Amino acid sequence: EDQVTQSPEALRLQEGESSSLNCSYTVSGLRGLFWYRQDPGKGPEFLFTLYSAGEEKEKERLKATLTKKESFLHITAPKPEDSATYLCAVGESGGYQKVTFGTGTKLQVIP
């Protein structure tokens, strides 16, 4: 059974203070690892898909990296508007498209 563990559960940063969120996963064959951002009372917003170890993707202040066991979401010089819950999900290879979500990291960026 696929497992996804995110850490820390919550993170409080000062504006401009860079940090990383972790997503550890166990899957028999990785189809893709997905990062989403979720604001309170809203549906998740797609950020990145990573397919293989060593892959990196960037979007504004966010950079996602992938190894065979974990993924990191690096946040560089965060702003208050980056405050949200960041969710990680993995999809297993084999043609079935469902994914397994982690419990998320709630990020708060203080001005």
Partner 1 sequence: GAVVSQHPSWVICKSGTSVKIECRSLDFQATTMFWYRQFPKQSLMLMATSNEGSKATYEQGVEKDKFLINHASLTLSTLTVTSAHPEDSSFYICSAISRLAGDYEQYFGPGTRLTVT
Which residues are at the interface with partner 1 (CB under 8 A)? 31-32, 34, 36, 41-46, 49, 87, 91, 97-99, 101-104
Structure tokens at 66: 């992938």
N-terminal to C-terminal alpha carbon distance within the chain: 41
In angstroms, give the least distance from the CB of 77 to partner 1. Answer: 27
The one-letter amino acid at 93: S
Nearer to partner 1, 13 or 90 (CB): 90
Q: Kindly tell me which of 18 and 93 has the beta carbon lying closer to partner 1.
A: 93
Inter-residue contact 66 to 55 (CB < 8 Å): yes
